[in-house]
A and B are shown apart, each in its own frame.
Chain A
């Protein structure tokens, strides 16, 4: 239904208006309202913006941290996007990432006498399998029994959180320790930092938590692009997403593709744990998904559900996270949660209010083209 309205509104305006200009206008609107919030608490938004940008890109460690956060957003953004292509709303990224972490830990804990390069393929498979498994039940219930996937995935987030607390408090906690965490993985078993990788090649880069999972994330982007636009599976997923009835007439099974899309989506969300658990934290702990699953929605919306767009949007949100930390440090009156406000506003303008600016913008360019022609 949304696709139809968008398509009819597109006529006559150049393609880049919808794919590039509109997201930028929405982002600008979100930033303007964020600026008003900063004004309301008596601070200077222009100065805040300067600190934020410098904090995200101004020095080498900052770039490393920005890329570290970017990695999480690429995984969760891709997860939301694949489900979107099938017309599904997967807001269960949090729970699927949590379970992905469990999968990674179950590979790492018994096997971390092995080197990281032997463990990486196993950890990738485990994170994908556990994330996909957590998405499988809501997917099956949507496909076969019509249970609304938004509600079931929300419920599965809470169930995952409870399961994780139980496991970490009672089963997986490291002996003799108070906080609910597993023991640390062996140092040689965890993913190398990019600074270490560069050091092997003789290039000196300052240390930051960005690690090899960024490369895995970029490969996943290519994989998703190929899957969605270059394979029969992707074609079927998109067809179901556009029009279920048409898909049925074309001999495409909506149920099968709903399950397939959600399995891939859950697997991608689960892979976020590679970055957080096998990379940065080197142990399984509570709440490492920390809202990345939800922000994946903003990433997918901003990135127009395309891997290239998702990389850019992830970079934007990664920069916000890192720059926001610096901002809170420089101006204590602005807390780091300002970034959450900006994220909420981006989801509002780029997602919920996507039809607010679109008609005006398209009309503007249609008139120009008509006048020129």
Chain B
């Protein structure tokens, strides 16, 4: 019974750490399927987190904060588009620039506006996204196994968690079942063909980037107004890159990318639990103890190792959208 409860709590933690990864991975689906490399998921999430926490504190409304986060994410996506689509700039360089700008700007503006060493003021309970208890969760909590799953795992998350999983379905629908999605996939494979059909490549890619920025902004708002009660400097802590890894691991497809995010989130939750639980001194001195000490670190690095192995073609094969990273220059 205790084991089941441990496992349910582990999955519960997995869900919570996976949400920002999933949102960023969905953002990546839009930009990368349209042919724009985006390594600035990390930076836009950080900027979104800062904007959401600041505005939620100023207005007292977490929803206005969320909109602000989305708006800032979109603004920096626009900048990425301006550099990469309008001026045919290098997409990786633009991404690096946005990431560095995000690190600097959030701290500089945070210190200047709030004078708390880069933090934003703590948000009150009603300025945050609070856990929602689903109907009957408390009543059913005592039912063996299923009750625990319902009350701990499914109930008790904030609204953004539920929105995120709904969004994955929506992204899937948009990408595979709408005209926009068809064009999006086409423009990432063969922009010249899309252009020949009389559809503007630049316009499509800008649209994809707008969706991308909004999703990164939601991810940021989740970090600063749902998971925490303030913006803390560098709080994105590499999550944007894990999301990028998951996007590649999911072969640029929404549902597999979500599953990869859940896998990586599970590894993160597991590594965190293990560091607290496994006491190396309980193991016999020697190789065994050293391995126990190394295990949490190995699990932490596993997402990165898996992506390298995947890209190397040792675990399946990841084929990127054909036109990814190449500026589209219309022939005159």
Contact = CB atoms under 8 A, between A and B. Distances in A.
A binds B: yes
Interface of A: 1-2, 5, 37, 40-42, 89, 91, 137-138, 141, 145, 147-148, 150-152, 154-156, 158-159, 162-163, 165-166, 170, 291, 294-295, 297, 301, 333-335, 337-345, 347-348, 351-356
B301 A163 contact: yes
18 contacts: A41-B113, A151-B307, A152-B311, A154-B244, A155-B308, A159-B301, A170-B293, A291-B100, A297-B93, A301-B93, A334-B112, A338-B104, A347-B96, A347-B97, A348-B101, A351-B89, A351-B94, A352-B93
B90 A352 contact: yes
A309 B278 CA distance: 52
B108 A162 contact: no
Contact of B104 (A5, A150, A337): A337
Given A154-B241, A341-B101, 19 more contacts: A41-B109, A147-B312, A154-B244, A155-B245, A155-B304, A166-B297, A294-B100, A335-B107, A335-B111, A337-B118, A347-B97, A348-B83, A348-B98, A351-B89, A351-B96, A352-B83, A352-B87, A352-B89, A355-B87
Nearest to A328: B111
A354 B89 contact: yes
Interface in B282-312: 290, 293-294, 297, 300-301, 304-305, 307-308, 311-312
A311 to B, nearest CB: 21
A345 B93 CA distance: 11
A145 B89 contact: no
B94 A352 contact: yes
Given A151-B307, A352-B93, A162 B113 contact: no
Contact of B108 (A147, A151, A170, A337): A337
A348 B94 contact: yes
A351 B97 contact: yes
B158 to A, nearest CB: 28
Interface residues of B, number: 52
Nearest to A141: B312
B39 interface: yes
Interface centre among A5, A162, A165, A301 (most CB of B within 10 A): A162
A294 B313 CA distance: 27
A1 B326 contact: yes
B202 interface: no
B93 A339 contact: no
B123 interface: no
Contacts of B327: 1
A28 to B, nearest CB: 17
Given A162-B300, A163-B301, A340 B107 contact: yes
B101 A150 contact: no
B238 interface: yes
Given A344-B100, A344-B101, A337 B107 contact: yes
A339 B101 CA distance: 10
A297 B90 CA distance: 12
A165 B297 contact: yes
A152 B308 contact: yes
B320 interface: yes
A351 B99 CA distance: 14
A331 B294 CA distance: 45
B299 to A, nearest CB: 10
Nearest to B313: A145
Nearest to B105: A341
Closest 4 CB pairs of A and B: A340-B104, A344-B101, A352-B94, A41-B112
Given A2-B90, A335-B107, A159 B96 contact: no
A257 B238 CA distance: 31
Nearest to B327: A1
A162 B103 CA distance: 21
B55 interface: no
Contacts of A154: 39, 241, 244
B305 A159 contact: yes
Contacts of A345: 97, 101
Given A294-B96, A344-B104, A347-B97, A151 B248 contact: yes
